[in-house]
Amino acid sequence: MTPSSTTDGPARIPGQRAAVIWGTIATILVVASTIGVFLIAPEDADQGIIQRIFYFHVAIAIASLVAFAVACVAGILYLRTRSERWDDVGEASIRIGLLFSVLVVITGSIWAKASWGTWWVWSDPRLVTYLIVVLVYAAYFVLRSSAEDDRKMRYSAIYAIAGFASVPLSFYSVRVAESFVHPVVFTSSGANMPGTMLWWFVMSQVAMIALFIALLEVDLLGRRSERALRRLAMRLESA
């Protein structure tokens, strides 16, 4: 007898508890970091209030890279094990990573308008290359929708790995062109910002990664629930 059948409550889907825990952690961290960024962190002497978008822009960018890295690892694990579970993790990670990437482009564009007076700067390789990353991962869903069954999962896994190869290129490209305008905050000699700013940046970063994990857990929970529902419907049909 399973534990769920001994109680009157609804059966728990695996991962429900993790989704609730991560959802709570992410909410607390996002609220705390938003308060910290807007009310506690010092204002930048040059750029004023618009510099505060940096805390979200960069944190979301790094969180999206984490999402794509997770998808890449999930792709490798899928190719090794052929387990549907890793395909779910890969697709959910890319879905969230793509959402984050679009947010990076939007927040970058807002920052560009405030700092440079224009919504888009083609001479800034990092912003442009991030747009390429968005296009690369948008194509993932086109590929996925046009392949079937086992091929869909296999091709998605391969594309997640190949797509992730384009990510380091976006970082490398910023150093290739000599005349770039994007502020490089993190250099090999450390971060170019005071301690309080760095602290709130780290806080925002942790919050965004927690948000990614929470969204991933919710997405995976949704898939598991859908499968459980489908199994139940099949059982009812055959009864």
Partner 1 sequence: MMALVRKDLRLELRTRETIVAMVLFAIVMLAILQFGFGTRDDDLTRFVGGLMWVTLAFTAVLGVGRSYVAEREQRVLDGLLVSPVPRTVMLGAKAIAIFLYMTAVEVVVIPLVGIFFVKGPYWDAIGWIAIAAVLANTCIALSGTLFSGLALFTRARDLIFPVLFLPALVPVVIAGAGATHAVAGGPHDMSEWRGYCLFLLAYAILFSLVCVATYDAVFDD
- DSSP for 199-231, please give it: HHHHHHHHHHHHHHHHHHHHHHHHHHHHHHHHH
> Which span sits near partner 1 by CB under 8 A: 10-18, 21-29, 87-95, 124-132?
124-132
Cβ distance to partner 1 smaller for residue 165 or 232: 165
Cβ distance to partner 1 smaller for residue 120 or 155: 155
Q: In whole angstroms, how close is the CB of 133 to partner 1 at the nearest point?
A: 9
Cα 23 to the center of its chain, rounded Å: 15
Q: Where are the beta strands (DSSP E) in the chain?
A: 186-187, 190-191
Cβ distance to partner 1 smaller for residue 55 or 78: 78
Cβ distance to partner 1 smaller for residue 175 or 227: 175
Nearest to 127 by CA among 204, 201, 82, 184: 184
Residues between 79 and 108 that touch partner 1 (CB under 8 A): 79
Contact 68, 90 (CB under 8 A): no
Residue 51 CB coordination number (10 Å): 20
Residue 4 CB coordination number (10 Å): 11
142 near partner 1, judged by CB under 8 A: yes
> Which span sits near partner 1 by CB under 8 A: 6-14, 111-119, 140-148, 210-218?
140-148
Q: 71-92: buried (b, 16+ CB within 10 Å) or exposed (e) per residue?
A: bbbbbbbbeeeeeeebbbbbbb
- The rounded distance, in Å, linking the Cα atoms of 230 and 10 is 16
125 near partner 1, judged by CB under 8 A: yes
Residues between 154 and 183 that touch partner 1 (CB under 8 A): 154-155, 157-159, 161-162, 165-166, 168-169, 172-173, 175-178
Q: In whole angstroms, how close is the CB of 94 to partner 1 at the nearest point?
A: 14
- Residue 184's identity, in one-letter code, is V
Query: How many of the chain's residues bind partner 1 (CB under 8 A)?
Result: 32
- Chain contacts with partner 1 (rule: CB under 8 A): 79, 125, 128-129, 132, 135-136, 138-139, 142-143, 146-148, 151, 154-155, 157-159, 161-162, 165-166, 168-169, 172-173, 175-178
